[in-house]
Structure 1
Amino acid sequence: MIKVAVVGGTGYTGVELMRILARHPQAELALVTSRGDAGRRVAEVYPNLRGVVDLTFQPPEPQLLDQADVIFFATPNGTAMQYAPALLERGRVVIDLAADFRLKDPQVWEQWYGQPHACPELLASAVYGLPEVNREKIKKARLIACPGCYPTAVQLGFLPLLHQHVIERTGLVADCKSGVSGAGRQAQVATLMAETGEGFKAYAVPGHRHLPEIRQGLQALTGKPVELTFVPHLTPMIRGIHATLYARLREEADLQALYERHYAREPFVEVLPAGSHPDTVDVRGANRCQIAVHRPGNGDVVVVLAVIDNLVKGAAGQAVQNMNLVFGLPETAGLELAGLYP
């Protein structure tokens, strides 16, 4: 059994990790940490895990983490990079669900996250944990940077088109909507139910932290710069990402067949039948991305619709998918989760 530690177990992604790992057939949840809830039982803080996780939150002391083979960091940006060098030296696998190792340029990281990087020497060796792109590299990795939720949906949506060079690299648009859980569990006026329940708004239009990550990922697919406009929106729902993506075709292609071929062997990407409109409710609780591709009026603009659960395929589920690859387990182990409906 693989022994697992979760650092930051009281956030939304932390509790999702516990929910998934507790039923994983080849992983043992050995340690869960929390500064604020140290000493309290997990089931006391999260009654939904009563009878499922029989652990007490521990303080995030480095020596406690040595009991685990793999350490998941479900922590705020800037935390994992404080622990990673020592853990890697001691032979542990580090999987970070935050942004500490996603960007390859430390200056770009500092620009978007407002602090210098604590271990820029590790950025080159960190593997970006999008299995549909980096599966073979992930298998050999010891430091994995899990993609953000928006970047997961956007990259999976654009990937087949860029891979086959059938769209222009300029003028790409990602018009994305997210549920409020994407903002985390900390108390914020902007995400109170009374503030969001009857509203719908864009935010961070001048620049969102996920923009350089998406651009970096799309550029890696093409080997050339891409021009992308990314506009996120906050919707009055708890879970889910809906990405509506626009691109201009540069050559004729059977788009439906292109997507079906590209994702034919991917266990967690489902291309819906032609004419479909994916719904975030259908992927709630599942480690799955559903995609539909359209060509309105048979013109030269392609519209791709991609939906994920931001807490699962956009965070905890994808992190476990990466763990499975690193340890040579079936990629679907512990993740064969049907969506929650309604």
Structure 2
Amino acid sequence: MIRAGVVGASGLAGGDLIRLITQHPDLELTFLGGSSHVGRRPAELHPGLRQDLGLTVEPVTEEVADRVDVLFLATPAPVSADLAALLADRVPAIVDLSGAFRIRTPELHDRWYPKVQRRPDLAERFVYGVPELLGDRLKDAALISLPGCYATALTLGLAPLTLGLGLDLGTVLVDGKSGSSGGGLQLRTSELHALRNGAIAPYSPTGHRHAAEASDFLAREGRGSIASLSMSAYGVSHVRGLLTSTYVFPAGPVDQRELHRAYLRFYKGHRFVRVRRHNETLIPVPDPQAVLGSNYCDVTVLHDPEADRIVVLAALDNLVKGAAGQAVQAANLRFGLPEESGLTMQPVMPA
């Protein structure tokens, strides 16, 4: 068995990590770390977790390296930066779910994460953890930086155009909508049920760091290019799930059938990205409801002939494929396990 630890065990992503690890055939949960809930059991922190794991939350010290083979950091970015500096080269594999090491370019990182001081040498060593796009590099990675939830949807939506077809894209505009769990468990007035329920809150209308992250990654990896990528983000009254609507204005002619075929080819053999036609089910898809509780990302590509634009829609559960599920998926690849191990649950709908 592969020994796994979770730091940030009291958070939403931490709770989903515990849930997934305890159901995994090859992972054994051996450590829970945190600072504000030391001594508490998982069942106290997450009402859905009733199994007695024989673990309580502990402070994180160097000694954790003797108890785990993989350590998941579901912690705020400044905390992850400090823990990575403490434990890199001691723990065989670290999977960081925060934004501490997502943006490689130093100037861009400082702009979007000004309070996160990280070691430059560690930033160069972290592998960006998109299994469908960088699976081969994850197999030997000691340090893995998991993409943000929006960035996961963005990169999976755009990769067939840039990495696959090698297109040079001009202006790319993104509209993102996410449920309240994307903000974690911090108490903010804007997240109170009386204000959030039924609302469409433009909390980041002129830019989002996940768009900067996706742009930084695609600029490093793409055969094609993106001249400009910008995003407006909105909070909606769902708890889980997000949808990105990405608008691309191509330089040349576009054929709808060829676009769809290009996406099918690109994701052939990748079971967690489902390329869909938007009218193939009783409700239009992608819809976050159709992926909740699962590790799937549903992607649809359309051509709008009236405006001569490509529309890419991507939906996922921000706590699973956008966080804990993708973290386990990356760990599976790191340790040579089947990519789908522990992640074969189907979506729950309606939710």
Question: Which stretch shifts more, 239-248 or 11-20?
Answer: 239-248
Matched residue SS, 1:49: coil
Partner of 2:195: 195
In the alignment, which of 265, 271, 275 is matched to residue 275 of structure 2?
A: 271
- Unaligned stretches of 5+ residues in structure 2: none
On the 8 A contact 1:171/1:247 being kept in 2, the answer is yes
On the 8 A contact 2:198/2:236 being kept in 1, the answer is no
AA aligned opposite 1:146: L
Partner of 2:264: 260
Partner of 1:242: 243
- Superposition deviation, residue 31 in structure 1: 0.7
- Superposition deviation, residue 244 in structure 1: 0.7
Residues 137-179 of structure 1: CA deviation (Å, up to 9, x unaligned): 1111100000000000011111112234475511111111000
Matched residues in 1 for 2:114 and 2:275: separation?
A: 38
Residues 251-299 of structure 1: CA deviation (Å, up to 9, x unaligned): 4341111111111110100011364521111111100101112123476
In the alignment, which of 287, 300, 303 is matched to residue 292 of structure 1?
A: 300
Q: TM-score, normalised by structure 1?
A: 0.95
Matched residues in 2 for 1:176 and 1:167: separation?
A: 23
- Superposition deviation, residue 128 in structure 1: 0.2
Taking the TM superposition and a 5 Å limit, the aligned residue runs for 1:9-20 are: 9-20=9-20
Partner of 2:42: 42
- Superposition deviation, residue 243 in structure 1: 0.7
On the 8 A contact 1:200/1:234 being kept in 2, the answer is yes
Matched residue SS, 2:88: helix
AA aligned opposite 2:114: G
Cα-Cα RMSD:
1.8
Partner of 1:327: 335
Matched residues in 2 for 1:27 and 1:306: separation?
A: 30
Question: Which stretch shifts more, 131-140 or 57-66?
Answer: 57-66
On the 8 A contact 1:167/1:248 being kept in 2, the answer is no
Question: Which stretch shifts more, 70-79 or 111-120?
Answer: 111-120
Partner of 1:305: 313
Matched residue SS, 1:71: strand
Q: Is structure 2 residue 162 aligned with structure 1 residue 162?
A: yes
Matched residues in 2 for 1:231 and 1:105: separation?
A: 22
Change beyond 3 A, Cα 1:50–1:115? same
Taking the TM superposition and a 5 Å limit, the aligned residue runs for 1:1-342 are: 1-51=1-51, 53-115=53-115, 117-165=117-165, 167-219=167-219, 220-222=221-223, 224-249=225-250, 250-253=252-255, 254-273=258-277, 275-276=279-280, 277-297=285-305, 300-342=308-350
Matched residues in 2 for 1:141 and 1:218: separation?
A: 20
Residues 87-106 of structure 1: CA deviation (Å, up to 9, x unaligned): 22224211100011111123
Change beyond 3 A, Cα 1:211–1:305? closer
Change beyond 3 A, Cα 1:278–1:207? closer
Matched residue SS, 1:203: strand
AA aligned opposite 1:234: G
Residues 307-335 of structure 1: CA deviation (Å, up to 9, x unaligned): 00000100000000010000000000001
- Superposition deviation, residue 186 in structure 1: 1.5
Matched residues in 2 for 1:86 and 1:40: separation?
A: 24
Matched residues in 2 for 1:221 and 1:87: separation?
A: 32
**Aligned sequence identity (%):** 37
Change beyond 3 A, Cα 1:309–1:274? closer
Residues 7-38 of structure 1: CA deviation (Å, up to 9, x unaligned): 01000000000000001000100011121111
AA aligned opposite 1:174: V
Question: Which stretch shifts more, 126-135 or 200-209?
Answer: 200-209
On the 8 A contact 2:5/2:70 being kept in 1, the answer is yes
Q: TM-score, normalised by structure 2?
A: 0.92
Matched residues in 1 for 2:31 and 2:210: separation?
A: 30
Matched residues in 2 for 1:252 and 1:206: separation?
A: 29
- Unaligned stretches of 5+ residues in structure 1: none
- Superposition deviation, residue 86 in structure 1: 3.7
Count of residues in Structure 1 that have an aligned counterpart in Structure 2: 342
Matched residues in 2 for 1:323 and 1:166: separation?
A: 29
